[in-house]
Structure 1
Amino acid sequence: MKNCLSLINKKTLIYLGATLSICLFSPLNYAANYPSVYIDTIQNPSDGYTINLSASNVQISKTPTIASNGDFFYQVGPTFTVDKGAKGQVQSSGMVNCIGSYVKQFPEGTKTKGDNHLHRIFVYSPQMPYTLNGLPVFQLSYNTFITIVPPDDIINKWNTIGKNARFCNPSTSMLKDYFTKGKNKDYSIDKFYYQFPFKISVFIRKRNIDGITIIPSSDFAGYARAWTNIADTSLAFSSLPQFMPINSTTAPMRLVGATLISPAECRTDVGYNLVINHGVLNAEKYESRVVRPINFSCDHVVPTPVEFELFYTKDGDSQQRLPLKVDGTNRTIYSKIQMIDAETGNRGQKFTSRVGQYKQIQIESILKGTNASGGNYSGTAILIAAYP
């Protein structure tokens, strides 16, 4: 809806003994087994694992999943499985450097023993204080949430897994090539599957009554695999980073969003745009109140709770009113804008009303002020009507 107003204004040491023996020491050759820990890293940060909601016609469930706090959530599409040979809505791409963004060498004398692999999923979205199906919930956006289920306890913590991994394991020859010659190995990301499967579910909290749901794209997590050849795995654990940006992980994990269109349960008589025009007012002293109705016709068999909310970008106005500006300038006046339930008289910028087959919501805009600069002022607010 628009408010429109026109106003007029980075030593080698040589030791010589009695027997004339020569001992050479180099920091990079202090131990034949090269005790170290390192993390495999994607070469191109744009690669990794991608869940593409636009890859097929995913639907929003009409049956709610009830969170531990009682809130209703609606699953988007099926549960997505990130696994070996993933196809369809989950795609994998890219090459991985064995010794990547993080590498640490341990002192001479550090005991080595075979190889150990450690794993972690770094989740970059905040965890919510409730669960869904008994699982932690992470918020991607205002209305988008996910759950992630790996077979082992590796969400936001380094841990071992129940399978033996291959590729990039710390062989003496590979470590020697890296530390003495700067040579590295790389493999396709498809080789990194021993930690799978990961099961990821996407949810929304609010279903818009017009059937249009926008889910934004998100770089929501990064899978990281670390290797070590030191015998004391706890020492390796303690040396690993507790945060890594997504471009430093082994496999970035991304959601490609989409605009999902479901059958609309309600329609309006104004479509997607309501213009509130205050006309031409006196810049020296102006006062105007305009009320415009939005009529909803719905397919509800019984009156159904619907949450109505007005959204707009606020500035420093103490009254948190809707700013109206002249394009290309900082000239601003303000509209006190709110909704009114024509049936109950309930008013405000957010409320819940029961909607049967018909509901009228009125939008009220009040302008009041003095000594404004002349110009054509406009501002935009968004009305979201959704099932709570």
Structure 2
Amino acid sequence: MITFKKLMQIIGISILVTSVAHSPAPAVAASGTTQSATAGAPAIQVYLNKEQITSTAGGATLINNTVMLSLDKLYVRGATITYDEHSRMLTIQNLLTQGSMKIGSTHASVNGKQITYSAAFQQVNKQLYIPLRFVNDAIGGSLEWDAVHREAYISYPEFVGEGLTNKNAYFLNGVDGTLYKRDITGKVHTVGASTAKLDPYYIAGTRITAEKISDDADLVTIQYSSGEPSINLTVYNLFVRKGVVLRQSKANYWQFSPEDIKIYEGNAVMNDGHSVRLIAPDGSVKQIWNHSKLAGTPEATYTIEGISGNILIVRSSQDGILTLIDTVAKQAVVLYEEFGIDPTELAGFTYDGIQFTGVSADRSELQFMFTNNKKASGVFTYRLES
């Protein structure tokens, strides 16, 4: 009897696609010999979301002109792989996709659909081998085969977000940008496509948060860091109403962590770094301001740390300086200069130490706190003209 350890690799969780891969790959011949050592031919390489996969038996091989993978300690990030010795059934599954195939058979079940492959799940030289196409389908992937270089590329879903395990929360397929939500009953719903298509290497560190705008509308924020050591930050905002993505924005920052407000007077605040939109609960646009242009530096990106009537309080991601913008008068005021603060006392790069704390009860003044580079604090106010 073949002895084979159960293999379970869980890091993320992955998903759905019910179709088989369509890119041309080697077809099948008739007998059961491996062909990996063809004279002069390069070894077959297989990449899952840009990462090469191997096993203790080596890389992929050809069996009857079909690309096969050894199951010996096969690792697929985000998937669970199990082999039942009693039933001789292999199961590979992700969050929403599952495939099963029995040793000796060319037939498999993927999400309840029967698929026939060009080679059987089989044993060769005391190793178990499975068709690469089945692995692709079972993890909800898309397969491309480069016959000239003997390389196979699988792009497959990788997920991140609290909704993977928590109810009433969102999660994202970072590879293709699809947003999902797990409702209060635990059922998963597809919300829609987003522009958040991320490098798989950095997906695991992505943060997803949501602010409730109304009973049927949320503002979902995706913060994605990349580069070494994760100094490039991209922020995606998705306005979701009745389970559908209606509006999106994207902002890029470098060595800077934005502190954008998300709601103002019941409206969603969507900032792309150069302009800000107020989105009403019904999804309509109430107001648009180009804060980069109003600040006098149209090439610079800014966060939105406060709004009060026609006043925007923005921070430059280039130098961290907090600026007040009167959108009616079209005037920008650098606050540390307005308050007479010595620039040598500013906190440092990307943050000047000035924080917007609120509006006075009669709404005639904006209130700020300044903490200098020696951790000493003081309070400042900005009087609004009536």
Q: TM-score, normalization: structure 2?
A: 0.23
Report the structure, 1 or 2, having the larger strand content. 1
Relative contact order higher in (CA < 8 Å, ≥ 6 apart) = 1
**Which of the pair has more CA radius of gyration?**
1
